[in-house]
Structure 1
Amino acid sequence: MIQLIVNGQPQFIPVVHRTESITRNPDDATLNIAQLLEHMGLQGKRIAVERNGEIVPRSKFDQPILTDGDRLEIVVAVGGG
Protein backbone atom coordinates (compact mmCIF):
# COMPACT_ATOMS: atom_id res chain seq x y z
CA MET A 1 0.00 0.00 0.00
CA ILE A 2 1.04 3.55 -0.54
CA GLN A 3 -0.26 6.67 1.12
CA LEU A 4 -1.59 9.46 -1.07
CA ILE A 5 -3.19 12.74 -0.08
CA VAL A 6 -6.35 12.93 -2.20
CA ASN A 7 -8.30 16.18 -2.06
CA GLY A 8 -6.64 16.95 1.27
CA GLN A 9 -7.42 13.58 2.88
CA PRO A 10 -4.86 10.80 3.51
CA GLN A 11 -5.72 7.61 1.64
CA PHE A 12 -3.99 4.22 1.78
CA ILE A 13 -4.22 2.62 -1.65
CA PRO A 14 -3.34 -0.99 -2.59
CA VAL A 15 -0.73 -1.32 -5.34
CA VAL A 16 -0.05 -3.78 -8.14
CA HIS A 17 3.30 -5.56 -8.02
CA ARG A 18 5.48 -5.68 -11.12
CA THR A 19 6.50 -9.28 -10.49
CA GLU A 20 4.45 -12.43 -10.10
CA SER A 21 5.80 -13.10 -6.63
CA ILE A 22 4.68 -11.09 -3.63
CA THR A 23 7.43 -8.77 -2.49
CA ARG A 24 7.84 -6.48 0.45
CA ASN A 25 10.03 -4.07 -1.50
CA PRO A 26 8.01 -0.87 -2.03
CA ASP A 27 10.18 -0.03 -5.07
CA ASP A 28 8.61 -3.02 -6.84
CA ALA A 29 5.08 -1.66 -6.51
CA THR A 30 3.42 0.60 -9.03
CA LEU A 31 0.20 2.55 -9.13
CA ASN A 32 -1.25 4.66 -11.87
CA ILE A 33 -4.07 7.18 -11.92
CA ALA A 34 -6.38 4.86 -13.87
CA GLN A 35 -6.06 2.23 -11.12
CA LEU A 36 -6.64 4.86 -8.45
CA LEU A 37 -9.78 6.13 -10.20
CA GLU A 38 -11.08 2.56 -10.50
CA HIS A 39 -10.38 1.99 -6.79
CA MET A 40 -12.35 5.15 -6.02
CA GLY A 41 -15.25 4.19 -8.34
CA LEU A 42 -14.57 7.13 -10.66
CA GLN A 43 -13.56 5.34 -13.88
CA GLY A 44 -15.46 6.51 -16.95
CA LYS A 45 -16.27 9.92 -15.45
CA ARG A 46 -15.03 13.24 -16.78
CA ILE A 47 -12.17 13.99 -14.44
CA ALA A 48 -9.26 16.38 -14.06
CA VAL A 49 -6.29 15.30 -11.94
CA GLU A 50 -3.53 17.41 -10.47
CA ARG A 51 -0.47 15.66 -9.01
CA ASN A 52 1.84 17.65 -6.74
CA GLY A 53 0.62 20.91 -8.25
CA GLU A 54 0.78 19.86 -11.93
CA ILE A 55 -2.11 18.85 -14.18
CA VAL A 56 -1.80 15.25 -15.40
CA PRO A 57 -2.93 14.77 -19.02
CA ARG A 58 -5.48 11.97 -19.50
CA SER A 59 -2.95 10.28 -21.84
CA LYS A 60 -0.72 9.63 -18.80
CA PHE A 61 -3.40 8.16 -16.52
CA ASP A 62 -2.17 4.62 -17.29
CA GLN A 63 1.51 5.31 -16.55
CA PRO A 64 2.84 4.19 -13.14
CA ILE A 65 3.62 7.69 -11.87
CA LEU A 66 2.12 7.69 -8.38
CA THR A 67 4.46 7.34 -5.42
CA ASP A 68 4.09 7.34 -1.67
CA GLY A 69 3.23 10.81 -0.36
CA ASP A 70 1.95 12.29 -3.64
CA ARG A 71 -0.68 15.01 -3.27
CA LEU A 72 -3.58 14.70 -5.70
CA GLU A 73 -6.54 16.90 -6.43
CA ILE A 74 -9.28 15.11 -8.34
CA VAL A 75 -12.14 17.12 -9.79
CA VAL A 76 -15.20 15.48 -11.34
CA ALA A 77 -16.98 17.52 -14.01
CA VAL A 78 -20.69 17.91 -13.34
CA GLY A 79 -23.08 18.85 -16.13
CA GLY A 80 -26.11 20.95 -15.60
CA GLY A 81 -28.47 23.28 -17.25
Structure 2
Amino acid sequence: MNGRTEQTAASNVIELIQQLGLEGKRIVVELNGSILARDEWSRAEIENDAELELVHFVGGG
Protein backbone atom coordinates (compact mmCIF):
# COMPACT_ATOMS: atom_id res chain seq x y z
CA MET A 1 0.00 0.00 0.00
CA ASN A 2 1.09 3.54 -0.67
CA GLY A 3 3.83 2.50 -3.05
CA ARG A 4 5.03 -0.48 -1.03
CA THR A 5 5.28 -4.02 -2.33
CA GLU A 6 2.62 -6.21 -0.73
CA GLN A 7 1.74 -9.90 -0.87
CA THR A 8 -1.86 -11.08 -1.16
CA ALA A 9 -3.68 -14.40 -1.20
CA ALA A 10 -6.42 -12.87 -3.38
CA SER A 11 -6.73 -14.59 -6.75
CA ASN A 12 -8.57 -11.72 -8.46
CA VAL A 13 -9.10 -7.99 -8.07
CA ILE A 14 -12.57 -8.22 -6.49
CA GLU A 15 -11.23 -10.54 -3.76
CA LEU A 16 -8.48 -8.03 -2.98
CA ILE A 17 -10.97 -5.16 -2.82
CA GLN A 18 -13.09 -7.18 -0.40
CA GLN A 19 -10.05 -8.05 1.76
CA LEU A 20 -9.09 -4.38 1.96
CA GLY A 21 -12.62 -3.36 2.95
CA LEU A 22 -13.04 -1.16 -0.13
CA GLU A 23 -16.18 -2.82 -1.44
CA GLY A 24 -18.73 -0.19 -2.49
CA LYS A 25 -16.16 2.63 -2.29
CA ARG A 26 -15.26 4.95 -5.15
CA ILE A 27 -12.00 3.49 -6.43
CA VAL A 28 -10.05 3.11 -9.63
CA VAL A 29 -8.08 -0.07 -10.28
CA GLU A 30 -5.00 -0.24 -12.49
CA LEU A 31 -3.51 -3.66 -13.25
CA ASN A 32 -0.15 -3.82 -15.03
CA GLY A 33 -0.60 -0.30 -16.40
CA SER A 34 -4.19 -0.71 -17.64
CA ILE A 35 -7.22 0.77 -15.92
CA LEU A 36 -9.90 -1.86 -15.35
CA ALA A 37 -13.61 -1.25 -15.72
CA ARG A 38 -15.59 -2.25 -12.63
CA ASP A 39 -17.20 -5.18 -14.49
CA GLU A 40 -13.70 -6.61 -15.16
CA TRP A 41 -12.68 -6.82 -11.49
CA SER A 42 -14.03 -10.34 -10.86
CA ARG A 43 -12.33 -11.69 -14.00
CA ALA A 44 -8.99 -9.89 -13.55
CA GLU A 45 -6.63 -12.45 -12.04
CA ILE A 46 -3.72 -11.33 -9.88
CA GLU A 47 -0.65 -13.21 -11.06
CA ASN A 48 2.82 -13.32 -9.52
CA ASP A 49 4.68 -10.02 -9.98
CA ALA A 50 1.49 -8.18 -11.00
CA GLU A 51 1.59 -4.41 -10.58
CA LEU A 52 -1.67 -3.29 -9.07
CA GLU A 53 -2.68 0.21 -8.02
CA LEU A 54 -5.91 1.13 -6.28
CA VAL A 55 -6.90 4.76 -5.91
CA HIS A 56 -9.57 5.49 -3.31
CA PHE A 57 -11.34 8.81 -3.61
CA VAL A 58 -11.95 10.65 -0.37
CA GLY A 59 -14.10 13.76 -0.16
CA GLY A 60 -13.52 16.55 2.26
CA GLY A 61 -14.62 20.01 3.12
Contact 1:50 1:74 in 2 (8 A): yes
User: Radius of gyration: which is bigger?
Assistant: 1
Question: 1:5-60: CA deviations, max 9, x gaps?
Answer: x5421111124xxxxxxxxxxxxxxx111100111111111110111111011011
2:47 paired with 1:67: yes
TM-score between both structures, scaled by the size of structure 2: 0.82
TM-score between both structures, scaled by the size of structure 1: 0.65
Instruction: Name the counterpart of 1:54.
Output: 34
Task: Judging by fraction of residues, say which structure has more strand.
Answer: 1
Residues matched between the structures, number: 61
The runs of at least 4 aligned residues of structure 1 exceeding 3 Å deviation read none
Matched letter for residue 77 of structure 1: F
**Percent identity between the aligned chains?**
38
